[in-house]
Amino acid sequence: MSDDLHDLYQDIILDHNKRPRHYGALADYTHTAEGYNPICGDKLTIFLVLKEDRIEAVQFEAACCAICKASASMMAEVLIGKTLVEAEAAFKRVGELLSSELNLEADLSVDGEIAALAGVRKFAARIKCATLPWHTYIAALKG
């Protein structure tokens, strides 16, 4: 990865950490779950509004590190408006992004700004920070 791209990725993560999108509890949710990553101490709660097969709203609250908060913020942006099938595909692409073998071309196939998380791959302990929001989303779906 070039240094310029690395800086860009860093800026995106810092921006989402500083101004997380879709942050705050949601009163009228249909699904919710709490996630905890003991390695880092990240805690977050995901709130979903599902209407039939489509995700109408995603909000989250968190006491967590910058990587986790940025990942949750980007995840909310990506999931809103998707069907459950589309969301499952997005979840899989993020998992592939964070597994270390992929190249930049594959990184760019992920949704939205999530490619910015590719830098996390170099730090094995932080991968759980990035995946916690997604696993919590799945837990919320399963009730």
- Residue 74: CB minimum distance to Zn ion, A: 15
> Which H or E run contains 137?
helix 124-142
Closest to Zn ion by CB, 38 or 143:
38
- Selected binder of Zn ion within 120, 129, 130, 140 (CB under 5 A): 129
Largest Cα span, the chain? 44
Stretch 30-69 residues interacting with Zn ion (CB under 5 A): 40, 42, 65, 68
Question: What are the phi and psi torsion angles at 85 (to 5°)?
Answer: -65, -45
Tokens coding 135? 């696993």
| Least distance from Zn ion to the Cβ atom of residue 41, Å | 7
For Zn ion, the closer of residues 42 and 55 by Cβ is: 42
Sheet holding 31-37, edge to edge: 31-37, 42-51, 54-63
CA distance 72 to 35: 11
Q: Shortest approach of Zn ion to residue 16 CB, angstroms?
A: 14
Decide whether 22 or 69 has the Cβ nearer to Zn ion: 69
Task: Name the residues that contact Zn ion, by CB under 5 A.
Answer: 40, 42, 65, 68, 129
